[in-house]
A = this chain, B = another copy of it.
Amino acid sequence: MTRPKIYLFGDSITESSFSLGGWGASLAHHFSRTADVVLRGYSGYNTRWALKVLERVFPASQGVDGGTAKAPLALTVFFGANDACLPDRCSAFQHVPLQEYKRNLHSIVSFFKKLWPTTLVLLITPPPIDEEARCRHPYVENPQGLPERTNNAAGEYAKACIAVAGEFGIPVVDIWNKMQQHPEWETYYLSDGLHLTESGNQVVFEEVITKLRDEGLSLESIPVDLPLINDIDPKDPLKAFLH
């Protein structure tokens, strides 16, 4: 058998999702006998750059007409944290205007819908921003001393992401809202005002498997790859391996 795949496509919060306690690693562990979780995270990228590389990351030969590779079960699209960098602050080169972000995200989803019509595309909003921590942890020189991202701006991009999901009728994980329900979300979920703590990773993992389950993708619905040890008869183990 060829195991089905789940792709994770996004920015640094996706690229780092296999670090200690990361949401990608947790997904891979959760589906350890059922699906391959494939990492396509590109630190620093926004939707404008993602659009530029889409066909290189997901070549047509993997798609519906072109090749032998089957459509993945699911794919997460998790961009917006970099698009939401403010245009007049130190990370301005990553900024993408809100309306362009929305168009770009729409184009990205359209691309996948055409390449893999049966694949569940799951959007994830950018996380909330702790502006105080962002002042303390700039990624580039920051002579202004101001946060390069604000929580309000991230919230506008989160809303746009949710709107795009609505246009396609696909699920979306709204972690911008979800995380802020915790009284100490700034430090409980975020390590540097943007990236995720182990608890933040856990929330994303749980929200993703909940949405996948809502759409019919769960350990109960995806076939297990080869007999489980508990299904092997200790009196005649090889019986389990007959075709």
Residue positions of A touching B, CB distance < 8 A? 1-2, 15-16, 18-22, 24-26, 28-29, 32-33, 36, 38-39, 41-45, 48-49, 52-53, 56-57, 59, 61, 67-68, 93-94, 140, 225-226, 228-229, 232, 234-235, 237-238, 241
A26 and B234 CA atoms in complex are apart in Å by 34
CA distance A19 to B2 in the complex (A): 23
CA distance A170 to B241 in the complex (A): 29
> Can you list 20 A-B contacts with CB-CB less than 8 angstroms, sorted by A residue number?
A1-B56, A2-B59, A18-B26, A18-B32, A22-B29, A25-B25, A28-B28, A36-B38, A36-B39, A43-B228, A43-B229, A48-B238, A49-B238, A49-B241, A52-B238, A52-B241, A53-B226, A53-B241, A93-B232, A140-B234
Q: How far is the CB of A54 from chain B (nearest CB, A)?
A: 11
In the assembled complex, the CB of A42 is this many whole angstroms from the nearest CB of chain B, namely: 6
Asked, given contacts A43-B229, A232-B44, whether A28 binds B25 with beta carbons under 8 Å apart, the answer is: yes
Q: Which B residues are in CB contact (< 8 Å) with A2?
A: 59
**Contact partners of A226 in chain B: CB under 8 A:** 42, 53, 56-57
CB-based contact A39/B28 at 8 Å: yes
Q: In the docked arrangement, what's the CA distance between A14 and B44, Å?
A: 32
Do A20 and B20 have beta carbons less than 8 Å apart?
Answer: yes
The 4 A-B pairs of least Cβ separation, nearest first, read A44-B229, A25-B25, A93-B234, A18-B29
A59 nearest CB neighbor, chain B only = B2
Looking at the complex, which one of B43, B53, B68, B229 makes contact with A67 (CB distance below 8 Å)?
B68
Across-interface contacts of A229 in B (CB, < 8 A):
43-45
Q: Decide: A33 near B21, CB < 8 A? Known: A39-B28, A52-B238.
A: no
Please state if B36 and A32 are interface contacts (CB–CB under 8 Å): no
Q: Which residues of B contact A38 (CB under 8 A)?
A: 36
Chain B residues positioned under 8 Å from A42 (CB to CB):
33, 226
Contact A32 to B25, CB < 8 A, known contacts A44-B229, A93-B234, A93-B237: no
Which residues in B have their C-beta under 8 angstroms from that of A48? 238
Residues of B within 8 A of A32 (CB): 15-16, 18, 39, 41
Contact A21 B20 (CB under 8 A): yes
Taken together as a complex, chains A and B put the C-alpha atoms of A55 and B24 apart, in Å, by: 28
Closest CB of chain B to A35's CB: distance in Å?
10
